[in-house]
Structure 1
């Protein structure tokens, strides 16, 4: 039985925030001190490392579950299935539904339940639950859907990755410029054609790495000490990812039985352009090869880092011919790979 992706959809928010929109921000270090560089220099350094020129933010009236619902509708339509036939809805996110101006995330009920409600699915046997796995959450959801189908517990699953990170960023933190909003979704089902998950791998490093991404107070010493924002140790994450992700990808590839030369695209979490380039370079170096020039589609330049949404959104764009100079054809072998809070890593080798 071949299990694969039969439909995809994404929702890219309409509000465009460019790097120059941060020129008047007051950036502070974690100790509350100002930086030696002025904002134009800070922003230029930021762009040279991350590759981000602009990012997308959701409209105030749209919550994470709304973005997921909009992406899910498109995936269901693309797959040409009846929504009542879904056995599972898995929604990967990190912070729940966030309302601008409020300090708490809302996960009661789960975001997956909210999507099922918005889709008006009446079937009680369609089980809806959330996945909290950091940025690799969507891939992990696909891995779980694959397991459900393989075991006979399901025939069709909807896996969503969505986030509104613009509502948990500290405006005084330089890292706030990285994060963005969005959602992507996919239908996973037994497919009698070519599409097939060939292999997968997951890992959690939770000793000294556990709190590389964390929640903490604002960098502004006069700000509310009870409100928490997404924070990260960027250098440690970079070193961790460059060390562990290429090895995980290689292990996954070796288990698939596919040659490195057969890989057509690598869909990697859009966290940081320099980091992603380093990961790909090190991955190919394991096989004593140079990475092909067009192997890695990138959306981070205009969409920023929307966490769990980056890979399903990127895959949807390429699959539908909406990303210049990138395409995939039936039978192509691709790799999905991600790294994020936990610290978690995973990868899938997939024949499209």
Structure 2
């Protein structure tokens, strides 16, 4: 028994926030001091490192569970299944439902329960739960769904990654320009075919690395005592380019396939230069050059939406919406992610 992807869907918010719109922000250092450079210089350097030119934010009336539901509906429609046949709904997120104008997350009831309610699924044996695993959450949800299916505990699961990071960022922190909102969903089911999930790998590094991403105060010293998403960017970069390629290789080696068989790598859209460095180092472990067009990217226009980046990217490529990239039946592809925890995971999948 194996697990294959039956359907995909995503929700991309309608509001576009360009880099230029950060021009009037008061960016500060972590100690509250003013930068020596102008915002124009800060934004230009940011764009050259991250590759982000714009990002998407949800409109005020929507929360994370709303956009998770939108993506779920599209994945279910794409899979052409009866939603009552779902055994599990797994929603990966990190901050719950955050109302517009607030930074407090709401996870009671769970977002998965809210999505199931919005889908109007009546079957009580469809179990709904949340997964908090940093940016690799959607992929870890996929790994868990695969485990349920392999164990005979499920035949069909819905895995969603959704986040509204725009509501938990400090506007005085230049890192706030990285984050965005979005949702991606995937229906997976049991299959007797040889294709599907071939291998996976997960690791958690929780010594010093545990606090590379954290909740902290605003850089504006007289701001309200509110916590926002914060990160040690340089430490994350060094950790990621060292540890993620190793996990990717450990995962791929489990398949026993030749590295030339790998057609695409769907990596978490965290930072363009970091992602490129990770993939280059991965291929270097096989003493080979990085193939052209191996890594689809949509970070330039969508930013970093955490758990939503990979399922959104995969859905776009599957639907032929990313110019220059396509996947065909029989292609061997990889999913890989890194994020808060610090957590790492990877998966090899045959289309």
Normalization by structure 1: what TM-score?
0.99
1:295 alignment partner in structure 2: 294
Asked if the contact 1:253/1:259 (under 8 Å) is kept, the reply is no
Q: Say whether 1:283 aligns with 2:287.
A: no
Q: For residues 245-294 of structure 1, give each alpha carbon's deviation from its aligned partner in whole angstroms, at most 9, with x where no partner exists.
A: 00000000000122110000000000000000000000000000001110
Distance 1:271 1:197, change over 3 A: same
2:16 alignment partner in structure 1: 16
Q: For residues 285-312 of structure 1, give each alpha carbon's deviation from its aligned partner in whole angstroms, at most 9, with x where no partner exists.
A: 0000001110000010000000000000
1:244 alignment partner in structure 2: 243
Q: Say whether 1:324 aligns with 2:323.
A: yes
1:350 alignment partner in structure 2: 349
- What number of residue pairs does the alignment pair up? 351
Asked if the contact 1:58/1:164 (under 8 Å) is kept, the reply is yes
1:95 alignment partner in structure 2: 95
Q: Which runs of 5+ in 1 are unaligned?
A: none
How far has the Cα of 1:195 moved from its partner?
A: 3.7
Q: Which runs of 5+ in 2 are unaligned?
A: none
2:32 alignment partner in structure 1: 32
1:41 alignment partner in structure 2: 41
**What are the within-5 Å matches in structure 2 for residues 29-108 of structure 1?**
29-108=29-108
Matches of 2:245 and 2:70 in 1, distance apart? 33
How far has the Cα of 1:190 moved from its partner?
A: 1.1
Matches of 2:269 and 2:283 in 1, distance apart? 19
How far has the Cα of 1:2 moved from its partner?
A: 2.4
Normalization by structure 2: what TM-score?
0.99
Matches of 2:52 and 2:105 in 1, distance apart? 26
Task: Tell which deviates more after alignment, 96-105 or 227-236.
Answer: 96-105
Asked if the contact 2:51/2:300 (under 8 Å) is kept, the reply is yes
Q: Which runs of 4+ in 1 moved over 3 A?
A: 192-195
1:127 alignment partner in structure 2: 127
Matches of 1:288 and 1:321 in 2, distance apart? 31
**What are the within-5 Å matches in structure 2 for residues 304-343 of structure 1?**
304-343=303-342
Q: For residues 177-234 of structure 1, give each alpha carbon's deviation from its aligned partner in whole angstroms, at most 9, with x where no partner exists.
A: 0000000000010134454100000000000100000000100011012x11000000
Matches of 1:104 and 1:276 in 2, distance apart? 31
Asked if the contact 1:194/1:331 (under 8 Å) is kept, the reply is no
Root mean square deviation, CA, Å? 0.7
Asked if the contact 1:11/1:183 (under 8 Å) is kept, the reply is yes
Q: For residues 122-171 of structure 1, give each alpha carbon's deviation from its aligned partner in whole angstroms, at most 9, with x where no partner exists.
A: 00000000000000000000000000011010000000000000000000
